[in-house]
Amino acid sequence: MNRLVQLIDSTGEALEGDLWDFYRLDLADVFRGSLSCRRVLMFVRRLMDEPWSRLRAELRGADWLGYTPEVHEMRDLYNMSGTHAQISANRKPNKKHFKQAPVVKQRASLSIADFPAARLAAQINN
């Protein structure tokens, strides 16, 4: 009962709203005696797996609202890949593994006629 009272004190509105939205249970039934604390805590555990649970968002942080665990894993992987790219970009390259790229001479400027599509259009129009 103490755990439930603490949970109601800290997240009462979110808990009450989720119990009604997901399970059609009235939190006041605990105090009326028609709903046990053990059963409410079982539903609380289930609510922690619901992506749209306001209770879950309030306990874990607002950025959890609407996100499934898979989305959070993808976000974490994305963040880790960015960190890895940043670390890789800042380290000194190992010259043994890199070959010198050949130097290619390029024209000073390109005109529209240099592109294959422009040549094809010129042939069609003539």
- Is 39 a residue whose pLDDT tops 80? yes
Residue 30 tokens, joined: 């605990």
Using alpha carbons, select from 13, 8, 16, 21 the residue that is nearest to residue 50: 21
CA atoms within 13 A on the CB side of 26: 6
* Global confidence as pTM: 0.50
Q: What is the pLDDT of residue 107?
A: 53
* Band of pLDDT at residue 113, cut at 50, 70 and 90: low
Q: How confident is the model at residue 20 (pLDDT cuts 50, 70, 90)?
A: very high
pLDDT at residue 59 greater than cutoff 70: yes
Residue 108 reports pLDDT greater than 60: no
**Mutual angle of helices 37-47 and 2-23, in 10-degree steps:** 60
